[in-house]
Amino acid sequence: MIRPTHQQSSGRCTPLTAPSQLLERHQVTLSTRHLLFAGDLQDDYCRQFSPHHTSVYTHYYHHARRLLPWLGSARVHCTLLPERSLTAVCDTVLYYWPKNKGEAQLHIFSLLAILPVTTDWWLVGEQRSGIRHVEPLLSPFGIVTLVDTARRCRLYRFRCTLPPPFDLLNYWDRYGYQGLTIKTLPGIFSRDGLDAGSQLLLEQLPALQGRVLDLGCGAGVLGVVAKQRYPAIQLTLSDVQAPALAATQATLAENQLSGSVVASEGFSDLQGLFDVIITNPPFHEGRQLSTQATAAWIRNARDYLAPAGRLLLVANAFLPYATLLDQTFGSHQLLANQSRFKLYQVTKQ
Ligand SMILES: C[S@@+](CC[C@H](N)C(=O)[O-])C[C@H]1O[C@@H](n2cnc3c(N)ncnc32)[C@H](O)[C@@H]1O
């Protein structure tokens, strides 16, 4: 299990997302249940229920960290596959549909494999995230009912009659790059092949030495290529997604390379100073374009770089990182400047 580190509770809740607003219309029914909140939990709606009757299972470490101060580590699970102990704590699942259908299938089928068939499933999500897929996905295995619609969201209930077969082996995928095998799982960035921005970074990768961090590692491609080219580096790879961390472990093992794989929200769980940080940072939060996480990474990177340490960051050319890099590091170098992507390098003075 990925154990979230405690973070100070601000006592404030995040604003409710549209799916939670739809669930809120059914609060009277739900408040009598033992609830398991699962899936893409982008808000703190679960805090409207008794913590003694609420548990969380998520693939996202940052969501687990946010809810940990309120629920405690026994009730917040952040693992690739759900643990059997979850079966003891819930009679009702509230599943938040993520934007990726394959990720939803892995999540839901792995839960169906361990929860009793009597479990009452509520599945909610935005129409633009593909919540309609609930019907073809689940109707072969039980009764699916559309319960409510509002705010461009749908709420379904599902009662399983015959759980679908589940084997994690069926969810693995892989692609090759320069003699290396990159192992991937549903929901991971660039599941089917190397991203063009990451490729640019790897083509221009300067010589590396010392402690190297692959920040937001996805399936681990940047880190393993770096390790293959410069075997003497001490490699750390970090991400917030449980499947990304599992895929990175698998990618390292498959290529017989070593590296330390850490669940971390930005730098939250990273220790010590790095000589080089390489990253193709996120620019979406859910479906929204967002540069917030990357802006925070740039600001914090200074504190995690050794003297003369370097940050190498590749990003879509339209994203406004040059000014922020200059404000934080004094200046920046453009190692590559293409119409679609820019590769920046900054050095800690
Ligand atoms: C654009 S992808 C790059 C993945 C990989 N490095 C590659 O080149 O294929 C960005 C990665 O950052 C991760 N990520 C998003 N928010 C994060 C956060 N707050 N802290 C750490 N990683 C995060 C995502 O899960 C995703 O794997």
CATH number of the domain residue 88 falls in: 3.40.50.150
pLDDT digits (tens, 9 = 90+) for 48-75: 999 999 999 999 999 999 999 999 999 9
Distances 148 to 7, 232, 285 between C-alpha atoms, Å: 36, 57, 26
The mean of the pLDDT values for the chain is 94
Instruction: Report which secondary-structure segment, H or E, holds 296.
Output: helix 292-304
Whether 177 maps to a domain, the answer reads yes
**263-272 average pLDDT score:** 97
Structure tokens at 270: 């990273």
Residue 261 corresponds to which amino acid?
A: V
Distance 265 CA to ligand 1 centre (A): 10
Question: Which residue's CA is minimally distant from atom 15 of ligand 1?
Answer: 282
Number of independent structural domains in the chain: 2
Ligand 1 site residues (CB inside 6 A) read: 62, 189-190, 195, 198, 216-218, 221-222, 239-241, 244, 264-266, 280-282, 293
45 dihedral zone (left: phi>0; alpha: psi -120 to 50; beta): alpha
- pLDDT at position 113 is 96
Model confidence at 142, pLDDT cuts 50, 70, 90, reads: very high
Question: Which residue's CA is minimally distant from atom 13 of ligand 1?
Answer: 216
Atom number in ligand 1 closest to CA 190: 9
Q: Are 66 and 93 in contact (CB under 8 A)?
A: no
Q: Are strands 153-160 and 120-126 parallel, antiparallel or unpaired?
A: antiparallel
Q: Are 213 and 154 contained in the same domain?
A: no
Angle in degrees, CA 200, 205, 208, rounded to 5: 160
Structure tokens at 187: 């929901």
- pLDDT at position 86 is 82
**210-216 average pLDDT score:** 98
Distances 103 to 11, 60, 186, 187, 233 between C-alpha atoms, Å: 31, 12, 5, 5, 33
Model confidence at 286, pLDDT cuts 50, 70, 90, reads: low
Model confidence at 199, pLDDT cuts 50, 70, 90, reads: very high
Q: Are 164 and 176 contained in the same domain?
A: no
Q: Are strands 120-126 and 76-78 parallel, antiparallel or unpaired?
A: unpaired
- The structure tokens 């990720």 sit at 103
Q: Are 304 and 184 contained in the same domain?
A: yes
Q: Which of 168, 198, 221 is the last residue of a domain?
A: 168
**181-198 average pLDDT score:** 96
- pLDDT at position 4 is 67
Q: Are strands 173-177 and 260-263 parallel, antiparallel or unpaired?
A: unpaired
Q: Distance (Å, rounded) from C-alpha 203 to C-alpha 209? A: 17
Q: Are 244 and 282 in contact (CB under 8 A)?
A: no
Residue 7 clears pLDDT 60, i.e. is over it: no
Whether 1 maps to a domain, the answer reads no
Distance 218 CA to ligand 1 centre (A): 5
pLDDT digits (tens, 9 = 90+) for 302-345: 999 999 999 999 999 999 899 999 999 999 999 999 999 999 99
Q: Distance (Å, rounded) from C-alpha 307 to C-alpha 157? A: 56
According to DSSP, the residues that pair with 89 across neighbouring strands are: none
pLDDT digits (tens, 9 = 90+) for 214-229: 999 999 999 999 999 9
- pLDDT at position 88 is 82
Answer whether 0.85 is exceeded by the pTM.
yes
Q: Are 211 and 265 contained in the same domain?
A: yes
Residue 6 clears pLDDT 70, i.e. is over it: no
Q: Are 153 and 33 contained in the same domain?
A: yes
Residue 171 clears pLDDT 80, i.e. is over it: yes
Question: Which residue's CA is minimally distant from atom 9 of ligand 1?
Answer: 218
Whether 3 maps to a domain, the answer reads no
C-alpha count within 13 angstroms, C-beta hemisphere, residue 22: 23
Q: Are 158 and 237 contained in the same domain?
A: no
Distance 213 CA to ligand 1 centre (A): 13
Burial of 106 (0-12, 13-18, 19+ CB in 10 A): buried
Residue 9 clears pLDDT 80, i.e. is over it: no
Q: Are 121 and 176 contained in the same domain?
A: no
- pLDDT at position 89 is 82
Question: Which residue's CA is minimally distant from atom 27 of ligand 1?
Answer: 218
Residue 284 clears pLDDT 90, i.e. is over it: no
Q: Distance (Å, rounded) from C-alpha 27 to C-alpha 90? A: 16
Residue 14 clears pLDDT 80, i.e. is over it: no
Residue 10 clears pLDDT 60, i.e. is over it: no
CB atoms within 10 A of CB 135: 14
- pLDDT at position 287 is 64
3-state secondary structure (DSSP) of residue 193? coil
Residue 43 clears pLDDT 80, i.e. is over it: yes
Distance 284 CA to ligand 1 centre (A): 10
| Residues spanned by the domain of 113 | 18-168
- Least Cα distance to 70 among 41, 99, 92, 93 occurs for 41
Model confidence at 283, pLDDT cuts 50, 70, 90, reads: confident
- The structure tokens 């799916």 sit at 19
**275-291 average pLDDT score:** 84
Give the least confident one: 5-19, 116-130, 183-197, 235-249.
5-19
- pLDDT at position 11 is 55
Residue 290 clears pLDDT 60, i.e. is over it: yes
- pLDDT at position 330 is 97
Q: Are 302 and 326 contained in the same domain?
A: yes
